[in-house]
Structure 1
Amino acid sequence: MKRERAILQGRREKAGKLRRLKVKRKNVLLLAVSMFLANVSFGMAFPYLSVYMRLIGGTMLMVGLLSVAFNLTSTAFQYPFGYLSDSTRNRKGFIALGLFSTGFFYALMALVSTPLALLALRTAQGALGSAMMPAKSALIAELSTRIGSAYGLFSTVENAGYMSGNFLGGFLVKRIGIRGIFVLSGVLLAVSAVIALAMRERPRPKRAPRLLLIPQEGRESDRATVGKKALGRLMRGHLGTFYLSVLLMMIASGQVYSVVPVYFGETFGEEWVGLLFGIDSLAAALSGYYIGRLIDRYGAKRFYLLSIAGYGIAFLGYAFAESIYLMLPVAFLSGVKWSMTLNSASTYVAERVRVSERGQGMGLLNAMMSLGWVLGPLLGGYLSGISFTLNFVSTLIPLGLAFVLAIRLPG
């Protein structure tokens, strides 16, 4: 009888593992499809925001404020949304909220005709749209034991979607106009939100009775640590140093990528702007999965350091590549280093925070990236008014500081 019960228990456990594996695989597929469609939408709409601002009478200052306002509110809301996704264990709900609200505001942008109205919508979009990133990053880490490979896979999917959106937007804009692009993007994001909601998550545990809780060795509490306490812990020690390094790197990124479309247009002609960004996205899509596998094998720190070096080489290439034939490989390198940055940074954080605080850890990572894109564009716009070359070369200062901080981190 004991032997029969043991066999039956073993079969039940095996069946349970197979069911959980099936659910995980289905969730990976649904999330991948959702993120692909979302990034098609982003690739279609984002490049035309600044163009639209100019068409409705906005100044170059207003164009710059589109980026600053969006990333400022995104910075403020990333961590709170990460905390909420941890405390509720409802990743898909926050992913869907971020996707739907982003699409909703894109659709509303098609109706506005004043610069201030467009700026207000972009500001609100940054606030509510930030619900997606911490939950999505945490969920990806929870879908696989090989975290680097998982981030690499989704990096490939998302960059492929963004590249498709770049080319699709360029094809459709003359046919349906920028307003039509915004409406279509809103529809695609609503569809992607519905697909995200089709994922299955573990139900949130019922509230336990108010008795003494005895922690089990080797297991973490399912409850997210209260925000203030977790925030202090995440910002201390090596992880706090890592976040500061990310901030410095993203300041350099914001300096360059907020103005480089104008630089490409003035230097090589407007027809090359979309092509160079498409090559950038193509490189990120092709390299993402393989970089993720290498990160699992050799460690996130090595590839994070390589990504900082890649930023420096790419920005020097922007400064001194005077021929389009030299700029094409620079654009390809730019895509590879972005894929390397996102995968290595996400993996580094995911491997060093508690499971119950992973959404908060990812929220802080995304907040640092967004904050860099608040400060960077302001500095880049000022320096580019003097000289594009000066702006590009000056990024070596924050990148050098980021590298010095990162090289001291534990591997």
Structure 2
Amino acid sequence: MPLGKRDRVVTQGKRERTLKLKKLRVKRRNTLVFLVAMFFANMAFGMAFPYLSVYMRLLGASMFTVGLLSVVFNLTSTIFQYPFGWLSDTSRNRKGFIAFGLSSFGLFYATMALAATPSQVLILRTLQGVFGSALTPAHSALISELSTKTGSIFGLFNSVENAGYMLGNFLGSAIVGYVGVKKLFVISGGILFFSVGLSLFIRERPLGRRSLRGMILVQEGREGWRTTVKGSAFMTLLRRRDLGLFYLTVFLVMVASGQFYSVVSVYLSQTFGGWSVGVIFGIESLAAALTGYFIGKLIDRHGARRFYLIAIAGYIVAFLLYGIVRNIWLLFGVAFLSGLKWVMTINSTSAYVAEKVSVSERAQGMGLLNAMMSLGWVVGPLIGGYLSGISFQLNFISTTVPLGIAFIMALKLPQ
């Protein structure tokens, strides 16, 4: 007996509720799996990254060459992040690019243990920038797709990821003391491959075979509304006055960040001892882990622009204090402040892009954000390596120039 009109409506309503609950369960499961995978990945990053500069100095590199270590990585990352983001959008494959990027990081970190000269480490870091850049756009896009509350979801991931990074910082400091830097890179690579295995448990809805040109994408929140992507959104995003200005400020902030962080490991090692490198980085990560989620919720309530301005001011204060403070206990407090400004930066900039860019262009928008960050880290380490050869303090003070310009420009950004 055929169903009446009312029965069909009721049946359709039940089906829609069941489908929504199923999608919600999948999102929650993906969130948990992805959080655990990125916790271990960032633990590996926290172990290896702070000691790259120290490793270069042990191999006989000059301060300028130490700066080049960041330049080659971020230059290749700048070039390849946007294409990987575009491919992630066009294929709607987040998991594959995340796994590929993580495995690339693991492979090249482990291989660095075999390096005998600074030039070999530079080559490996260059290749790591090329293939590892597959991770970041897909990572940011997947996070933004897990919840409509962008500030909160980015805050949650930043808290968990910074907790992993913090643990890696402290573990790295201990491992270097027991077995040395080379074995540290091998261990870090192994943990990254473990995180790859975890990421493969992310469940993505199969979308069938899609063409890379003229692909149909479903817009978020509008079932049945579709848009055809006929080309790259790159120029469209840059030509938008608000986004173009925003990306420029991010570039300037990251120039200052590159000036400082490309050489600070060597500065800490020479001033306070090698043990301090992992500890200081660990305290920065601890601050980010403890506050990331709450800052994300505040960003949802009060707006990304306001917290971005506070973050830029935090960079100025933190970098100046790093150059002035000579007491290690006071420096722990400076490190905590520095961690706050970082998590505020990454939360606010990610939320700003997620709010301003449509879902069909989101990975490209995030890829462009990460490209600007990487590009800043191409220019900054060149300046930092040169100035630190003269004086670390001169380098730290000079970061106020790009940061000051970025702050004034950011005042003009719309809410």
TM-score, normalised relative to structure 2: 0.93
Do structure 1's residue 397 and structure 2's residue 401 form an aligned pair? yes
Q: Deviations over 1:271-322 (max 9, x none)?
A: 3332222111100110100000000011111111110011111112123223
- Unmatched segments (≥5 aa) in structure 2: none
Matched ranges for 1:36-185 at <5 A: 36-185=39-188
- 1:186 offset after TM fit, Å? 1.4
Change (3 A) 1:89 1:35: same
Corresponding residue to 2:338 among 334, 337, 341: 334
1:203 alignment partner in structure 2: 206
Q: Which moved more, 1:373-382 or 1:123-132?
A: 373-382
Q: Is the 8 A contact 1:75 1:366 kept in 2?
A: yes
| 3-state SS of paired residue (2:356) | coil
d(CA) in 2 for partners of 1:75, 1:201: 27
Residue in structure 2 matching 1:20, options 23, 44, 52? 23
Deviation at 1:112, TM superposition (A): 2.6
What is the aligned partner in structure 1 of residue 196 from structure 2?
A: 193
**Does the residue aligned with 1:34 lie in a helix, a strand or coil?**
helix
Is 1:308 aligned to residue 303 of structure 2? no
**Could you give the per-residue CA deviations for residues 179-229 of structure 1, whole angstroms, max 9, x where no partner exists?**
222222112111211211211112225559x99x9x9996764654512xx
Structure 2: distance between partners of 1:410 and 1:404: 13
Could you tell me how far apart the structure 1 residues matched to 2:364 and 2:139 are? Answer: 12
1:103 and 1:187 in contact (8 A); partners too? yes
Alpha-carbon distance between aligned partners in 2 of 1:311 and 1:28, rounded to the nearest angstrom: 31
Write out aligned runs for 1:230-379 (5 A): 230-236=233-239, 237-379=241-383
Which has the higher mean CA deviation after the structures are superposed, 185-194 or 130-139? Answer: 185-194
Contact 1:247–1:368, Cα closer than 8 Å, also in 2: yes
Shift of 1:270: 3.2
Letter in 2 for 1:259: V
After TM superposition, the score normalised by the length of structure 1 is: 0.94
Shift of 1:265: 3.0
- Structure 2: which amino acid aligns with 1:286? L
Secondary structure, aligned partner of 1:351 = helix
Residues in 1 aligned to 2:5 and 2:209: alpha-carbon distance in whole angstroms: 33
- The equivalent residue for 1:226 is 231
Change in Cα spacing, 1:374 to 1:184, as seen in structure 2 (3 Å) is: same
Shift in CA distance, 176/386, structure 1 to aligned 2, threshold 3 Å: closer
2:389 maps to 1:385: yes
CA distance in 1, matches of 2:392, 2:118: 26
Report the Cα distance in structure 1 between the residues aligned to 2:228 and 2:203, rounded to whole angstroms.
19
C-alpha distance in 1 between matches for 2:328 and 2:174: 22
Structure 1 equivalent of residue 32 of structure 2: 29
Task: After TM superposition, give the deviation of residue 3 of structure 1 in Å.
Answer: 1.9
**Relative to structure 2, which stretch is displaced further, 371-380 or 62-71?**
62-71
Q: Relative to structure 2, which stretch is displaced further, 216-225 or 116-125?
A: 216-225
Change in 2 beyond 3 A, CA 1:267/1:344: same
Instruction: Tell me which residue corresponds to 1:5.
Output: 8
Q: Bigger shift: 76-85 or 186-195?
A: 186-195
Deviates more, 1:265-274 or 1:234-243: 265-274
Q: How many residues align?
A: 406
Percent identity reads 62
Conservation of the 8 A alpha-carbon contact between 1:221 and 1:356: no
For the aligned residues, what is the CA RMSD?
2.1
User: How far apart are 1:178 and its partner, in Å?
Assistant: 2.3
Unaligned runs of 5+ in 1: none
CA contact (8 A) 2:53 2:266 kept: no
Cα distance in 1, alignment partners of residues 230 and 403 from structure 2:
33
Pair 98,170 (structure 1): closer, same or farther in 2 beyond 3 Å: same
Contact 1:86 1:223 in 2 (8 A): no
Moved more, 250-259 or 108-117: 108-117
